[in-house]
Structure 1
Amino acid sequence: MMSTDVLVVGGGAAGLSAAAEAASCGARVTVLESDLQLGGQLIKQTHKFFGSKDEYAGTRGYKIADILLDEIRSAGDRVEVHTNVTVTGYYPENGTITAMRGEEEYFRVSAKKVIVATGAQERLIPFPNNDLPGVYGAGAVQTLMNVYGVVPGKRVLMVGAGNIGLIVSYQLMQAGVQVAAVVEAMPKVGGYWVHAAKIRRLGVPIYLRYSIKEALGSQVVEGAIIQEVDDRCSGIGNEKEIDCDIICMAVGLSPTVELCWQAGCQMKYVPHLCGYVPLRDRTMRTSHKDIWVAGDASGIEEASAAMVEGRIAGLSAAMSLGFKGDPGKLDEYWSRLGHLRAGEVGEKIRAGISQVMVDGWEE
């Protein structure tokens, strides 16, 4: 049995920020991360971030991961990190977390407070031959290219024109891979126009109101059929054949919230936040008195917002244990979140957050 003051499940943008903040208050923090290295999505992101200097605007994602890791290291032995560890369950009767290191070592963790920063999982859509080698999620493509330096193929069809689809398309082109086309079922591009403009200037067509109908090939992907769709994403004709050897799916993410379900947190399905998420108060605490949430596990959003939510959760969890922290920081962090969620781009997020925020909990 391992014991700690604050257990952070997930070592991505939100988890590292939460761990750093809790440790700065004096709490003993343990971080469990399923990947082989810390950083989550940050280590795959080679583009420069938007936002403000507080969220490292103008800095590339993998550099931000280094900054957070340096902050973790500066906390010394107050932060204990375990990678290649998958959390397998939460047991409400005694608050125990169970976990596996690799496939061999099973252990348990007793934590006074838990921060769920488990991120998200990629969505996929069904279509004929979607099990052929050559069909990838966008996250897998980013991992291959930006972590391991391996290009997935020679010519890619990108399905989805949100920020992830547009950014990964540009990164593919930077790596020398052709992007045959980007298809988007919605009537407009979902990501920032600056990302769309980059690939359009390089001659990549973006087909709105189109989706993939079928992957072509017998042993591997040898092409794809795309088709015009209606408001319900049903095919209505106007098919096109695309020459490609890779089909990259960037059709959205879903919050990874199994631990919250197991712990009995009050959950709500919010389309604006891309799935079921826990209700939370202004400290990011859930309905469970010992569990906080941050990052994509609380609703799909940009990494900049995940880092700020992690700060809120880490500070609040540590202070709930009696460690000294500055309550005024909460106002500062919420102000920063307000700036990140301002304007037309943040309208959807604001609408979703309003549905899951509570004033407080009855103990």
Structure 2
Amino acid sequence: MRETELLIVGAGPAGLSAACEAARAGVQVMIIDENERPGGQLFKQIHKFFGSRVHNAGTRGFRIGEKLLEETKELGVEVQLGYPVYGVFSDNQVIYGTAEGARSIHAKKIILATGANENNLCFEGSVLPGVMTAGAAQTMINLHHVLPGQRVVMVGSGNVGLIVSYQLLQAGAKVEALVEAAPAIGGYEVHANKLKRAGVPFFLSHTVQKVTGKDGAEEVIIVQVDEQFKPVPGTEKRIQADTVCMAVGLTPMIELAALGGCRMTVSPALGGAVPMHDTGMKTTNPDIYVAGDIAGVEEASTAMEEGRLAGTAAAESLGYLDTETAGLRKQEIRRRLELLRSGQFGAKRADAKADIEEVYRQWEKGGVNL
């Protein structure tokens, strides 16, 4: 059985950031990812980040990914791609698949940065060719340079729906409509205004009722919904489209954490069930840390900071950083996280994160019966 000091599952923004932070402290780090390419969501993100300079404002997502990959190479991080992880066990044994069959590796510490799955809607015609998640469309246009369709209906007005809609326009598709069940746009106005200026119609308080077509999507029927999100009869509208993209939220991928004995808590604001963790991203299994969307769905910038936090905490627990040095470093990272979680959209996530950390503290004291 192979041995490593720190094993990171997931080569996305959180995993790569964690690897760089730990390796910089001197830790032997190995990353495993089931995908053939590293970088995760960053390499789909051709738009420029905004915010502060410390959070890569003005830099395109894929450029940030390239920088992180270069850092892992310089720091000697071992990156194994195309290897799906099948199980994480309480004795720190990890089972993963290779072309030659299943293999196992033992790690002193593990960081799970497995991300999240996209949610889907169920409606008549939802299995027709041309109906997909927004992430699938983004992968097609930004990674494989393939246009999923000519005429698109986007469902969901969060940042993912807004950004992918604009990227579809840039790729040459026509976005026929953006459909949102809520009475207000869910994402940043700066993204929504780009679509409005391009002439994309917004249908708020509407949802998809049906998609029809012979060999694939041809027509989308949307309907208005009331305050209880129930369809209002007689308000149906027909839109000609060959592609329907769903940007209706994400669910943290907690399966490996559950197999590793990590206790869960539920946070609707962060996507559902997430592993309980402390301020350093340590779970109830003291050898397993989490970072990124598995710890609660947020932005890529937040995932990177959580990765740095987990990498620092793991390096400290392995004896590569003294308590004072690690404490100062974690304090600096948490200040940046607080900045990311401020404002209109971040406050709710900040409160949700504080709740998770409080539940962990109560569990640690023996005050939570799970």
Bin the TM-score by the shorter chain. over 0.9
Match of 1:85 in 2: 83
Which of the residues 196, 202, 212 maps onto 2:198? Answer: 202
2:213 paired with 1:217: yes
- Report the equivalent of 1:309: 306
Q: Deviations 1:26-81 (Å, cap 9, x if unpaired)?
A: 000110111111100000000001222222111000000001011111102xx111
Question: How many angstroms does 1:259 deviate by?
Answer: 1.0
Structure 1 equivalent of residue 110 of structure 2: 114
TM-score computed with the length of structure 1 as normaliser: 0.96
Q: Secondary structure at the match of 1:316?
A: helix
Paired residues of 1:26 and 1:324 also in contact (CA < 8 A):
no
Runs of 4+ residues over 3 Å off in structure 1: 358-363
- Deviations 1:200-227, CA, capped at 9 Å, x for gaps: 0110011111011111112211111001
Q: Residues of 2 paired with 1:161 and 1:273: CA distance?
A: 17
- CA deviation profile, 1:54-109 (whole Å, cap 9, x unmatched): 22111000000001011111102xx11101111111222x221111135x431111
Cα pair 1:272 1:349 within 8 Å, conserved = yes
| Identical residues among aligned pairs (%) | 46
**Number of paired residues?**
359
Long gaps (5+) in structure 2: none
Matches within 5 A, 1:245-324: 245-324=242-321
Q: Secondary structure at the match of 2:248?
A: coil
**Matching residue's letter, 2:166:** Y
- Map 1:2-151 → 2, pairs under 5 A: 2-76=2-76, 79-92=77-90, 94-101=91-98, 104-151=100-147
The equivalent of 2:330 in structure 1 is 330
In 2: Cα distance, 1:217 partner to 1:101 partner: 40
Query: 1 CA distance for matches of 2:293 and 2:88?
Result: 19
Change (3 A) 1:113 1:215: same
User: 1:362 deviation in Å?
Assistant: 5.6
For 1:11 and 1:339, how far apart are their aligned partners in 2? 25
Distance 2:338 2:194 in 1: 28
Structure 1: distance between partners of 2:222 and 2:3: 53
* Aligned residue type for 1:251: V
**Alpha-carbon distance, 1:177 to partner:** 0.3
Q: Is the CA contact 1:88–1:100 (under 8 Å) kept in the aligned structure 2? A: yes
TM-score when normalising by structure 2: 0.95
Question: How many Å apart are 1:234 and its aligned residue?
Answer: 2.1
Q: Is the 8 A contact 1:211 1:226 kept in 2?
A: yes
**Distance in 2 of aligned mates of 1:14 and 1:3:** 22
